[in-house]
Structure 1
Amino acid sequence: MKIVGLSGSIVGSKTRTAMNYTLESVKKQYPDAEVTLIDLADYTIQFSDGRNYLEYEGDTGYVTKTIMDADAVIIGTPVFQASIPATLKNIFDLLPVNAFRDKIVSMLVTAGSSKHYLIAEQQLKPILAYMKAQIVQTYVFIEEKDFQRKEIANDDVIFRIERLVEDTVVLTDTFTKIREQKEEKYDF
């Protein structure tokens, strides 16, 4: 199983901190999973210009192809100006409409205040549904007060991240088995 963690911002440390913890939890709970972290701060990504994702080279090509090859994607995003960052939206624009078909996608959101807890519901989930993702319905919302010295300081957040990891892997396994059983019915 290939799991990609996508840290969807080029600034700040909270989302990356949460993604690091999340992917470490995946590695610890599911050592057979192939885990890749894509932190957009580490890459130079071109703006989408409408080309097929396979036509992009360099960092842009690597990021889009890695996401497309994944079985599951865990998206981490901060909330900026009551919205997802443009860097994350650009990734969605670089990918085809059906990019998340047959993929499980889960989310964790970091924000400065509790007032932004619905950004995932009102902005991120509709984009992912449009792109055909099988969405893990519960997501982890982490406020600024849950961090201390670039570490997660709230045990409940850690518990919710571990549960998100479990839900992501269980759903990925389940959907893979269902898809394989369906494909076995065909003779080709």
Structure 2
Amino acid sequence: MNIVFVSGSVVGTKTRRAITELKKVWLKQDAAAQIEIIDLKALKLPFCDGRHFLDYEEDVVATLKKVVEADVVVFGTPVFQASIPGSLKNFFDLLPQDALRETVTGIVVTAGSSKHYLMAEQHLKPILSYMKAVVVSTYVYILAEDFVGNDLVKDDVDLRLARLAEDLIFTTEAKRYIQKKQEEAYGF
């Protein structure tokens, strides 16, 4: 299974920390999983100017292909101005429209308060749906108070991350089972 986690901010550390924690939790459930983390902070992505994604620089194309070819993609994002950060929106804009077609996707949100809990429902899920992703309904919303320094300290966060990993694994396996049955039924 090809798994990619995207840390969707160029500032701060909490989103990357949450994504790293999800990777640890996932590996407890599936030790053989190969998970790659794409941290937008570590990349020099250009602003999207409408070109086809293959027309960008080689390193940009390589990063975008990892997402396009993934079976599972988890997007981690902080809440900025009650929405996703511009760096993550730009990342989506660089991808082709159907880049996430039938890709199982999950969401991890870090935020300073609970006031924007529905941001994932109102901003991120519509983008993923437009890109034809299979979006698991469970997402994890982590508050600043769940961190001490850069460490996640609340046990319920680990439980919620474990549930997200379970849902992503189950959805991916169910999708594969359905595809196999369709291939058998139609002979291709």
For the aligned pair, the TM-score class normalised by the smaller chain equals over 0.9
Match of 1:98?
98
Number of aligned residue pairs: 188
Match of 1:133?
133
Shifted more, 86-95 versus 43-52: the winner is 43-52
SS at match of 1:185: helix
Cα distance in 2 between the residues matched to 1:113 and 1:147: 12
Cα distance in 1 between the residues matched to 2:186 and 2:57: 36
Match of 1:30?
30
Contact 2:25 2:158 in 1 (8 A): no
Match of 1:159?
159
Query: Shift of residue 181 of structure 1?
Result: 1.7
SS at match of 1:37: strand
Q: Deviations over 1:91-130 (max 9, x none)?
A: 1111111111111000010000100111000000011111
Match of 2:9?
9
Cα distance in 1 between the residues matched to 2:111 and 2:58: 31
Q: TM-score, normalised by structure 1?
A: 0.96
Q: Deviations over 1:156-175 (max 9, x none)?
A: 11100011011111101111
SS at match of 2:186: coil
Moved over 6 A (4+): none
User: Please, what is the CA RMSD of the aligned residues?
Assistant: 1.2
Q: Percent identity?
A: 49
Amino acid at match of 1:11: V
Q: How does 1:27-176 map to 2 (within 5 A)?
A: 27-176=27-176
Q: Which sections of structure 1, spanning at least 5 residues, go unmatched?
A: none
Q: TM-score, normalised by structure 2?
A: 0.96
Contact 1:43 1:59 in 2 (8 A): no
